Structure 1
Amino acid sequence: MAGQPASAGPHVADVSAASHAEEPIVRLRHPGRWVAAAVLVVLAAMFVNFVVTTKQLRLDLVLGYLFERSILRGLLLTVELTAIAMLIGVVLGTLLAIMRLSDNPILRGVAGGYVWLFRGTPILVQLLFWFFLGTVLPQISLGVPFGPAFFAVSSNTLITQFVAAILGLGLNEAAYMAEIVRAGIGSVDRGQTEAAEALSMSPGLTYRRIILPQAARVIVPPTANELVSMLKLTSLCLVIGLPELLTTAQLIYGRNFQQIPLLIVASIWYIVLTTILTVVQSRIERRMSRGVLGAVARRSRLAIGGR
């Protein structure tokens, strides 16, 4: 007790640490990983063997049509449809989200009704609706309500296959983007808006300068995911005969009866485009989260330094 040296405690701890350091390191074994890897290797080998040995797949035909001119034109049209429809969806969806968060009950009702209608009906039905609109509305006119028309045009002339696809895809996407943007705006602290009001900033300026830039961190990742989904949704334009990628493949195998090789060609291009968009999405997400991770690291360093 009183006669025990003060250094006995640390000395005992040092001896204990040294004895633990001399013990051999036993690595954990993970037999499940090896079993899973073996199963995956076997499945991969079976798939490669099936592709190589199945002559009906006609890999020579796949390679021959992969860069065929009509296939590339359909691919370009698919990219155009995706870009334009997403642009309409993002712009209109942002406007609808702001309307749903407005204090005006009429604006909230209109935006809520739009989202309810376009989310409640299948996109395939919407594409067909716009394509066949001319059967119930032969002319689209502009003029005085219940009065003379100053300008009129045939619906079939105005709403072509491409326009019907853009309307169907873009207006449907706007309903989903409205919910994504609304969730992003809701993630911004209410104090930010109150501070902007204290500085006499207008609501429009507050959204542009304060709210939307901060909400972008929540909005961008699901929007990028919607872009990937939109790329694949363009294949539904097959029902209105628009010659995008899948429709072009169908037109070709309708002539040569080589369905599977042409479907493989279309699938390869869809996978290529989806992979590119996925890589871009991951980079955007890392860039958007850089500021948050940096702030967390700074707070951690300050907390450690404060101790």
Structure 2
Amino acid sequence: MLAVENLHKAYAGRPALRGVQFSLQPGEVYALLGPNGAGKTTLVNILCHLLKPDQGHVWLQGQPLSNRNRCWLGVVPQENLLYRHLTCGENLDFFARLYGVPAPLRPQRIRSCLQQVGLGARQHSVAHTLSGGMLRRLSIAIALVHQPKVLILDEPTAGLDVEARFEVWELLNTCRQSGMTLLMTTHLLEEAERVCQRIGILYQGRLEAEGSLDELRPLIPAREVVHIQTPDELGVQDRAVHLGLTQRRYSQGLSFWLPEVLTLEAILAQFQGLPITSIARQPVQLEHIYLEVTRQSRA
């Protein structure tokens, strides 16, 4: 559906993208992760045909991305770019005209899009009266009004409360189930885990890792991560070295990779004689994978 081939882009000689390539399949949600400055904005601007790469190509349904087929894309920018003095229906009508939706189709298309995002009863509500979550859903409706094949979303739930975030996630899942392809940038690792089928980790312009969560898990040679709080960190660290455990610091206290799943009793037995204040274990998650990929990229 959408393919990125060997993209390079530099600003004043400073590389922003270095050979990025990946592809998206129909009905797939792809998350693009990376710290600030990783190249996500540059990549999104190229995908939206707002910026030309120095090298490489973007293919949309087997055709080079161009002004002619960019209408197959729907874009939801990080900021809600809509007219707050207009009603929801008027906003959609304005953008439907820009996208060239034929006049006879517009009324039904507007009603359908608003219904799809849960704003069917708000067609005549002025945009500035909507909550933050509703405004975000209105932005998504605007991006859907011309029935795109690919939806690109930049930080779709940034600044939303938990309830509004879940509403957007449910909406994106509905779009995916309809066969639409979605690409989203996000800083929320939970969002990527819950919504996306595949994940790409961008760092300093390079796509350092990509795949499903199951495909990314082997990047960490561990089954679980154990978190320990203790007043004797040196003692625990020495014991962990003796046991051959890899240490990482994810939050307060010490964290170690466990090569196999163990009970808490078995873990405590490994540190017998040391003062352990608290101990917890968890499966390897996207957070651990992301931090490890970026750590290795810095090395």
Structures share a fold, TM > 0.5?
Answer: no
- The structure that has the greater radius of gyration is 1
TM-score by length of 2: 0.22
Structure scoring higher RCO (CA < 8 A, sep ≥ 6) equals 1
TM-score by length of 1: 0.22
